[in-house]
Structure formats: structure tokens, C-alpha cells
Amino acid sequence: MIIFKILAICGMLSPIIYTFAWILGGIIRTDYNHIQNDVSSLFAVGAHKKWLFQSLFITGSALLFIFSFGLIWGIEGIESIVGPILFLIGAFIGLLVPIFFPLDEDGEMVTLRGKLHLILIIIAGIFCMVAMVLLWLHTKILTGWVGFAWFSLVSIPIVLILMVLSGIFGGGPYMGLVERFMVSYYQIYYFVIALMLFLNV
């Protein structure tokens, strides 16, 4: 159905916009360092051109959230929609972060809002990771989805390792670099699942 293809395109656009945003940040902000600074610092309170990067991240997150509805109803023959629903919840939490919970000035976590930024990102990541497990279980027997199912299975330990590494390097001189490996893998996963939906509806 055409509506599911449109939703899938939204899902594919989301990681492209997200990645474009942080690459652009390194280009137009001379005080920003991809190696040291995390992505969220681009729309922290008082950040230079915060409005631009906040708008981009909100747009990317909104597109992912919209795509999630296509994931719930668009996978033909799936036995359970729990995985897609968890994916949707994670996407919704991810949308709330750039709207209501930016980091504090200089990318710090001082206020409750700043601390909730990190907490909500972790929760959203966990929801997505559990969704990966369930999507693997429920798509490995579906025609056209077997390859994606194994991709989901492989993604689980990769995401776990990257999350641990991000925690270890958090606040250090290589925080930005390590974080980019983690968020980029998530973005790849989002693009692939959206592409799969596009090809199978």
C-alpha cells in the first residue's frame, strides 16, 4: 500500500537528517569537536545556532516516530506487534528529548532537565534494543524478512557493546567519537528496517 511506502520513506529520511545534523554542526560551529563533544551538545541550552540543530533533530525524530506506525501495521504475517510497539515507544521518547529535555549549557547535566536528557536517551535505546530481539524472533519466518531478522540478531550484541563503551568513555576526550559509533549504528538499523518495509509492502 502506498501509505506504508510513504511511512517507510519517513523512516529512511530520519537517520539521514540526524546524521546530516551532526556533520553540519562540525562544519559551521568552530567550537564544536566531533571527537570530544557529544551530538546532544549541538542543541544544548545556550548553544550556538541551537534553533537550527534542535529543529533538525526534532524533524528526524518526528519522522522516525511517524514511521513506527507503519512498522506496527505494515509487516504482513507478523505474529506479534509487541516489538514494533516497543520501537514506537522508544521513538516517541526520542522525540521528547530534543523538544523538552536539551542538555544544560556547555552540554552539562546539572538541572533535572539535563539529567532527564540522558535518562530518556538510555530508556529509548533499551526499548529499541528489546524491539530488535522481538523483531528477530517474529520476522525470521517471514518471506522477504529473513535477512533482516538475522541483521537484528547480530545488532543486539553490537549495540550492547557500543552502549557500554559510550558509558566508559562518557565525559572523556573521546566521548564524541565513541558516541558516534553507537548512534550511527542505531541510524543504520533505522534505515535498514525502513528500507525493508518499503520493499515488502
Tens of pLDDT, residue by residue, the chain (201 residues): 899 999 999 999 999 999 999 999 999 998 999 999 999 999 999 999 999 999 999 999 999 999 999 999 999 888 889 999 999 999 999 999 999 999 999 888 999 999 999 999 999 999 999 999 999 999 999 999 999 999 999 999 999 999 999 989 988 999 999 999 999 999 999 999 999 999 998
Q: How far is CA 82 from CA 62, 72, 129, 173, 198, in A?
A: 21, 8, 13, 39, 20
Residue bearing cell 538541572: 111
Q: Give how far Cα 36 sits from Cα of 9, 101, 107, Å.
A: 32, 21, 11
Domain boundaries, the chain: 2-200
- Please count the other Cβ atoms lying within 10 Å of the Cβ belonging to residue 186: 22
Per-residue cell: 109:
547535566
